[in-house]
Amino acid sequence: METRTVAFVAPPELRPQEPAPANTRGAIGWARAHLFGSVGQVLLTLLGIFVVYAVVPPLLKFFVFEAVWTGTGRDDCLPEKIGRPVGACWPFIWAKWNQILYGFYPAAERWRVNTVYLMGALLLAPLLFPKLPFKRLNALAFFGIYPVIAFVLLTGGDLDMRTFLLGWTGLDFGLASFAGLRVGFWLQFILVALIAAGIGMLVCPFFGGERGSVAKSILKVFAVLGVILLVVDLDFGLEPVETRQWGGLLVTLVIAVTGITVSLPFGILLALGRRSDYPLVKYASIIFIEFWRGVPLITVLFFATYMLPLFLPGRFTIDGLLRALVGVALFASAYMAEVVRGGLQAIPKGQYEGAMALGLRSGFMMRLVVLPQALKLVIPGIVNNFIGLFKDTTLVLIVSIFDLLGILRASFTDPAWATPTTLFTGFGFAGIVYFVFCYGMSRYSMALEKRLDRSHRH
């Protein structure tokens, strides 16, 4: 077919395409469109410039240009001693560095904390990158094995347990011990496992279960528990370090990581429980969630630390940090449950019906169809909770646990470093640390959202 030129259409080769007018491209064009497009925009832009001008130069001046970077004591950070205006007193941070990282952890044992930090980073990093293989193994290592090893390393292990659930009966198999293990304890443990399996076998017919398999699963649970107890009970020759000596970033991370890893699974269970058809499960979940959402975290911590010991019998004490950990974990779980429930409610009924039509039982329906979609929807909410939890950890200061901020506050009282700017340096540093962690979480969640959202991008 021959081509005909139409008279009123210019042939393409006649005039080269011209670039867009200068005032609509490049930096100028962008500025015109985005910064000075209208009177309102111009005003906002000027306001923005003013805010930046008012905030950034003084901050830089204080934290960088006028800051003192090296020194050995308060004299190096005093304007009248060094003869110039002084901003941040960074030597204070260097001097307190070990306390910021480890609290009052004994210097000779700090390698244990370092090992825990390093192991955590090495196990967590591959878990965060979706492309890397062995996810199942990696998750088992991080969520199952790592906490036990971290516990032994940080506390020293060798719990020296005497009785297992049967202490109240007065049953005592004697105190013979072997490698830090008490024989009496383990005899009791085996006895309890057998009793539990027996009870399981007795009652299972009423629920339509099969005797052999029920007993087997109960024994399996006890076997896993036994391995964990064995590891924390063994004497590895590590010097015991009481939790009162922990502090700084160590405590902040222990509380935050525990809270985060406990709250997600528990929150999901509670959310499912709240939507359950069984009244007992449903109301138990509702009461739990509403109770913990209804009390402030400070009250929970305060109660756990100061009131609980008054109610417990004399010799029975629970470690202070553990009490705070449990309080934070329960509190975070209740919040997480409501976030997850929001996601569950957003899944259309058709998804449930579709899953049922495929013949999936309710457990599989939740695991394979509903939860993956629901959790994806609420990633921003979940990460919001994580970030909030991370920052809330600092509330443990009021129950005499010295987290990152607590250790800094204690350090402010060291007369060897008391200067007019020590306080601001310390808080500035704490702000930077918190920002690094929270911003990291936030960026990761955004990347995750992007990756998971590929299927229905609008």
Partner 1 sequence: MSRTFKHFLLAAGMLAMGASAAGAATLDDVKARSALNCGVSQGLPGFSNPDDKGNWAGLDVDFCRAIAAAIFNDPTKVKFSPLSAKDRFTALQSGAIDVLSRNTTWTMSRDTTLGFNFAGVMYYDGQGFMVRKSLNLKSVSDLNGASICVQTGTTNELNVGDYFRTNNLKYELIAFATIDETIKAYDSGRCDAFTADQSQLYAVRLKLTNAADHVVLQQVISKEPLGPLVRQGDDQWFDLVKWTYFAMLDAEELGVNSKNVDQMGSTANPEIKRLLGTDGKFGEAIGISNDWVARIVKHVGNYGEVFDRNLGPATPLAINRGQNNLWNNGGLQYGMPVR
Residues in touch with partner 1 (CB under 8 A): 74, 78-80, 95-96, 98-99, 102-105, 107, 242, 244, 305-307, 309-311, 313-314, 398, 400, 402, 406-407, 409-416, 418-420, 422-423
Q: How far is the CB of 152 from partner 1 (least distance, A)?
A: 22
Shortest Cβ 159–partner 1 spacing (Å): 17
Choose among 102, 52, 55, 62: nearest CA to 85.
62
Considering beta carbons, is residue 96 or 182 the nearer one to partner 1?
96
Is 337 or 399 the residue whose CB approaches partner 1 more closely? 399
Smallest distance, partner 1 to C-beta of residue 60, A: 21
CB of 132 to partner 1, least distance (A): 38
| Choice between 83 and 348, CB closer to partner 1 | 83
Q: Which is closer to partner 1, CB of 92 or CB of 386?
A: 92
Q: How far is the CB of 416 from partner 1 (least distance, A)?
A: 6
Task: Give the number of other Cβ atoms within 10 Å of residue 21's Cβ.
Answer: 8
Q: Which two tokens stand for residue 441?
A: 């979480």
Give 263 or 422: the residue with its C-beta nearer to partner 1: 422
Residue 78 or 269: the one with the smaller Cβ distance to partner 1 is: 78
User: Minimum distance from CB of 107 to partner 1 (Å)?
Assistant: 7
To the nearest whole angstrom, how small is the minimum distance from the Cβ of residue 53 to partner 1? 24
Would you say 248 or 381 has its CB closer to partner 1? Answer: 248
Q: What is the 3-state secondary structure (H, E, C) of the chain?
A: CCCCCCCCCCCCCCCCCCCCCHHHCHHHHHHHHHCCCCHHHHHHHHHHHHHHHHHHHHHHHHHHHCCECCCCCHHHHCHHHHCCCCCCEHHHHHHCHHHHHHCCCCHHHHHHHHHHHHHHHHHHHHHHCCCCCCHHHHHHHHHHHHHHHHHHHHHCCCCCCCCCCCHHHCCCCCCCEECCEEHHHHHHHHHHHHHHHHHHHHHHHHHCCCHHHHHHHHHHHHHHHHHHHHHHHCCCCCCCCCHHHCCHHHHHHHHHHHHHHHHHHHHHHHHHHHCCCCHHHHHHHHHHHHHHHHCCHHHHHHHHHHHHHHHCCCCCCCCHHHHHHHHHHHHHHHHHHHHHHHHHHCCCHHHHHHHHHCCCCHHHHHHHHHHHHHHHHCHHHHHHHHHHHHHHHHHHHHHCCCEHHHHHHHHHCCHHHCCCCHHHHHHHHHHHHHHHHHHHHHHHHHHHHHHHHHHHCC
**Alpha carbon distance 39, 29 (integer Å):** 17
Of 164 and 417, which has the nearer Cβ to partner 1? 417
Nearest distance from C-beta of residue 114 to partner 1, angstroms: 16
Cβ 217 to partner 1 shortest distance, Å: 41
Half-sphere exposure of 278 (CA within 13 A, CB side): 7
Q: Which is nearer to partner 1, 159 or 301 (CB)?
A: 301
Q: Which is nearer to partner 1, 42 or 82 (CB)?
A: 82
Rounded to a whole number of angstroms, the minimum distance from the CB of residue 70 to partner 1 is 15
